[in-house]
Structure 1
Amino acid sequence: GHDVTVYTSDTIDSQNRQSVEYLVHEGIKIHYFKNISNSLAWRRLFINPGSTFSLKENIRKFDLIHLHDIRNFQSIVAAYYAKKYNVPYIIQPHGSLPKIIGKQKLKKIYDILWGNYIIKHASLFLAMTKTEAEQLTEIGIDSSLIKFISNGIDHPGNVLHHGVFRQEIGLEDEPLILYLARFHQIKGADLLVDSFSKILENFPTAKLVMVGPDDGYLNEISKLIDEGHLTDNIILLDPIYDELLKRHAYVDADIYVLPSRYELFPISVLESWSEGTSVIVTDRCGIKDIVREGGIVVPFDEDELANAIEYLLSDHNMRETLGQRGKQLVYGKYSWTKVVEDLENIYQDII
């Protein structure tokens, strides 16, 4: 067996914190360190001084450190003490490397001060896609130090009946397009609203259901919906935290659309496929080559996206075919069992 310890923050959301500092979950020891500001932490500025003392005292007890980001306080501390005490560490950026939208100048300054140090002394880098591997080589990482690890999902274990989510939100058999993601500019919800407005001439009863937390862009989307007189056809919903209801949302959707300006390896695509629902993404999504095996990839363009939505809404058999292809792909390559096995082999090679 393995002895696994997780260091993380105590932030749940902008207002709430974990009520415990330490717990053991299924044999995994989890330390929740207090952030100096919940508001900052919710904006991904994690500063938890308590982790400094714990890492300094305990880091020599670990055989390997796995960092899941480079631009945070905890990674600075972990990399420093790991280097000092010769403990190898690996970095898995999870798509955070590019300076695309938001805080570009701060990211550049951070990288000069600390980020480049963290990268320089890492033993290995984990990329989720070819796109991320290219991002790593572009900043000077030798390709021999890059290994691939995908995202994964749990096998649902049972097939759900249609209609539960539709009944929950008051819909019957109208064409249903689902957006399930946070409302942030990078997610491209505005593109989807504009594209959806173009399909209503041919599909006047179609509904676009948009589900997710506000990440600074919900007011803009609401404004687009109002100005486009789309309130009868677009439904905005709060985040779905109930996993079963979320599964029902995918099941009842005719199409799942993720119109991102940038996306590396969205779990939502795998979740949609696991329920046999067809998927459309933009070509700015890092798994576009994978999606082509069980979905449609379009340029980041409202007309192209509208055409793809109309195409799938017009062809039930194609939706079913793409959804089943995606389902087979998920269970064959992207189950947590397969991902954990691959990660374990990488850990063993380093140790």
Structure 2
Amino acid sequence: MILYIGNNVKSSNVTVMAQLSQLLRKEGYTVTVSSSKENQFLRLFEMLFSVLKWSKQVDYVLIDTYSTKNFYYAFLVSQLCRVLKLKYIPILHGGKLPTRLKSSPGLAKMIFNHSYINIAPSYYLKEAFEKENFSVKFIPNNIEVCKYELKKRMLFKPNLLFVRSFSKIYNPQLAIQVLQELKKDYPTASLCMVGPEKDGTLQECKELVNKLDLEDSVVFTGKLSKQAWHHLASEYDIFINPTDFDNTPISVIEAMALGLPVVSTNVGGMSYLIKNDIDGLLVEANNVLHMTNAVKSLIETPSKAIKIVEQARVKVEGFDWKEVKKEWLSVLAS
């Protein structure tokens, strides 16, 4: 039996957790997930209670581990697992997690030095943890590639798609500023922004759109299901990822699978996911001109965009569950 500890709140972005749980169940594992409580204290209580409740039956405890409040959840759950002598496996997430290793070295050692194994979904996090002398195994975030219909485009219009939660660290305002620059040369340019509110940034984005008179060119959809935004993606031609901090976001991997060329800031683990000018474009963080010029290069040189799309699809096929599950089954069978 596997107990998977993480944020399972319905209104949150739990794509990786939900997907991995479902896929492991298909492989014959019994997987219990905790917690779906919206209140943070109740969520923590349920996480800890779940460990106690299933301690006699569980073989492994998977713990989604991020850099902010969730880091303390992971710490408390991991230490309870130590007391109960349970094998726990932190799954590392978030571009700011390496910073947490330096700001909380003692807590980090208590979590990661005593785990059964630490799993990093990117080489960026793997290298960052190894520099701090933690043992880490790389297992990438996975998708079922067969479920992603590759749209083949011959031309690329200035229609941008952003898929991320509205959080300051993801800098969605930059996407709006890029649109404003694009409209100087492409008056019909548009931007669709998909994702839930996190910290007030969505309202700031709406105010910026109004200030720049872009109301007719920007659509805010709120959070959409995976199927809904995949369907929506066929109406757009370029995927934009303007973040200030990142690891290897699943939305970018999915965009690559769907045939959208990706323009992303070169932060965190993005250079480990995307090779610049090969399977995507990487630009300087928080630089409107650089990102705008990168988008223009795809519009003005469709042959370049087509090659990027083809190479990106080849890359993400390596993230297919048929390949990734071999690594997970090896860990869980050992």
Deviation of the 1:343 alpha carbon: 1.8
Alpha-carbon distance between aligned partners in 1 of 2:163 and 2:170, rounded to the nearest angstrom:
10
Contact 2:151 2:258 in 1 (8 A): no
Task: Give the 3 Å change call, closer, same or farther, for CA 89–312 of structure 1 in structure 2.
Answer: same
Deviation of the 1:184 alpha carbon: 0.8
Alpha-carbon distance between aligned partners in 2 of 1:258 and 1:340, rounded to the nearest angstrom:
28
Alpha-carbon distance between aligned partners in 2 of 1:9 and 1:310, rounded to the nearest angstrom:
38
Task: Give the 3 Å change call, closer, same or farther, for CA 123–158 of structure 1 in structure 2.
Answer: closer
Aligned equivalent of 1:314: 300
Structure 1 residue 122 corresponds to structure 2 residue 112: no
Aligned equivalent of 1:324: 310
Alpha-carbon distance between aligned partners in 2 of 1:186 and 1:78, rounded to the nearest angstrom:
26
Listed one character per residue, the Cα deviations across residues 46-69 of structure 1 (whole Å, up to 9, x for unaligned) are 634244344235324333322222
Q: Which one of the candidate residues 241, 251, 257 is aligned to 1:274?
A: 257
Identity, % of aligned positions: 19
Aligned equivalent of 2:15: none
Q: Which one of the candidate residues 7, 10, 20 is aligned to 1:12?
A: 10
The gaps in structure 2 that reach 5 residues or longer are 13-21
Deviation of the 1:276 alpha carbon: 1.4
Matches within 5 A, 1:158-169: 159=149
Task: Give the 3 Å change call, closer, same or farther, for CA 61–340 of structure 1 in structure 2.
Answer: same
Q: Which amino acid aligns with 1:12?
A: K
Aligned equivalent of 2:18: none
Alpha-carbon distance between aligned partners in 2 of 1:284 and 1:236, rounded to the nearest angstrom:
25
Aligned with 1:231: secondary structure?
coil
Aligned equivalent of 1:265: 248
Deviation of the 1:306 alpha carbon: 0.7
Aligned equivalent of 2:219: 235
Task: Give the 3 Å change call, closer, same or farther, for CA 233–48 of structure 1 in structure 2.
Answer: same
The gaps in structure 1 that reach 5 residues or longer are 15-22, 164-172
Listed one character per residue, the Cα deviations across residues 12-34 of structure 1 (whole Å, up to 9, x for unaligned) are 238xxxxxxxx996563435556
Q: Which one of the candidate residues 131, 146, 154 is aligned to 2:124?
A: 131
Aligned equivalent of 2:32: 30
Contact 1:176 1:254 in 2 (8 A): yes
Contact 1:90 1:124 in 2 (8 A): yes
Aligned with 2:224: secondary structure?
coil
Aligned equivalent of 2:145: 155
Matches within 5 A, 1:63-78: 63-69=59-65, 71=70, 75-78=74-77
- Structure 1 stretch 179-188 or stretch 315-324: which is displaced more? 315-324
Q: Which amino acid aligns with 2:83?
A: K
Aligned with 1:252: secondary structure?
coil
Aligned with 2:62: secondary structure?
strand
TM-score (norm 2): 0.81
Deviation of the 1:207 alpha carbon: 0.8
- How many residue pairs are counted as aligned between the two chains? 312
Deviation of the 1:238 alpha carbon: 2.0
Q: Which amino acid aligns with 1:307?
A: N
Aligned equivalent of 2:82: 83
Contact 2:89 2:119 in 1 (8 A): yes
Alpha-carbon distance between aligned partners in 2 of 1:308 and 1:215, rounded to the nearest angstrom:
28
- Cα RMSD, aligned residues only: 3.2
Deviation of the 1:135 alpha carbon: 2.8
Aligned with 1:192: secondary structure?
helix
Q: Which amino acid aligns with 1:193?
A: I
Deviation of the 1:264 alpha carbon: 0.2
Deviation of the 1:189 alpha carbon: 0.9
Aligned equivalent of 1:211: 194
Structure 1 residue 288 corresponds to structure 2 residue 271: yes
Listed one character per residue, the Cα deviations across residues 186-205 of structure 1 (whole Å, up to 9, x for unaligned) are 11211121122112111111
Q: Which has the larger radius of gyration?
A: 1
Q: Which amino acid aligns with 1:153?
A: I
Structure 1 residue 180 corresponds to structure 2 residue 163: yes
Deviation of the 1:80 alpha carbon: 2.7
Structure number with the bigger relative contact order (C-alpha 8 A, sep ≥ 6) is 2
Deviation of the 1:160 alpha carbon: 7.0
